[in-house]
Structure 1
């Protein structure tokens, strides 16, 4: 049961990150400033209120599942999770909040787009690392 919860939470978290990245990129390239502001608000609420618990559940269940396991695959997953967590806590969440605030004020300036590029870069990195962890997780499940 714990493994099913872990996989479900990991899939939900990964889909959130990929969705936030994709819709941001599409709206920035093809949308209006009002649409950018709307997307920034949706990412904060309900987005972060879905993503953060999904990440916490993924991390907690993953740590519990790995507690009695050793090996290179486990170490690789744990190393990636530290990077994912740091990116999320130090870059993605603060960026989402700041960009939402600035967008709600209509402040689409150099600072906004600088933070936007940082957020997209960190989001791409996290999505990539999360997909790598999923692939390693499938390997571990079949061992």
Structure 2
């Protein structure tokens, strides 16, 4: 049961983070200011889903990995603190800042500077989460 919980929570967390990133890129590139505001104000509400998913994936992963050793487990253990710190220190504050700026229709230089930072750090988290998923699949023998 714990293995299923871990896989589902991890996959959903990756999907949520990726959807935040993609909707941001697409709206910033192709949409109106109104749609950008909608996306930027909706993302913090997505934290109500994302934070528990990341917590469940982390908790279940640590429980599952406790008796295990090996390079894949070690790599996953090294990545998780980076993912968590990146999210708590950079991505959540950036999303809250961007939401407030978008609500005020203040699409100025600081908005776009923080947006660039959020996209870079978001891409890092997507990459790290995807690497964790890849290594988890390798450990299960579903991927070479």
- TM-score per shorter chain, which class? over 0.9
**Who is 2:30 aligned against?**
30
Partner of 1:85: 84
Match of residue 6 from structure 2: 6
Which segments of 5 or more consecutive residues in structure 2 lack a partner in the other structure?
Answer: none
Partner of residue 60, structure 2: 61
Q: How does 1:47-126 map to 2 (within 5 A)?
A: 47-126=46-125
How far is the alpha carbon of 1:142 from its aligned partner?
A: 2.6
Q: Deviations over 1:9-35 (max 9, x none)?
A: 001100001000000000000011111
> Root-mean-square deviation (CA), in Å?
1.0
Give me the TM-score of the superposition, normalised by structure 2: 0.96
State how many pairs are aligned.
142
Q: Which whole-Å deviations, capped at 9, do the CAs of 1:42-75 have from their partners, x for residues lacking one?
A: 1111x11111100000000000000111111111
CA distance in 1, matches of 2:116, 2:135: 29
1:105 deviates by 0.6
Output the CA distance in 2 between the equivalents of 1:124 and 1:28: 16
- For 1:63, what is the secondary structure of its paired residue? helix
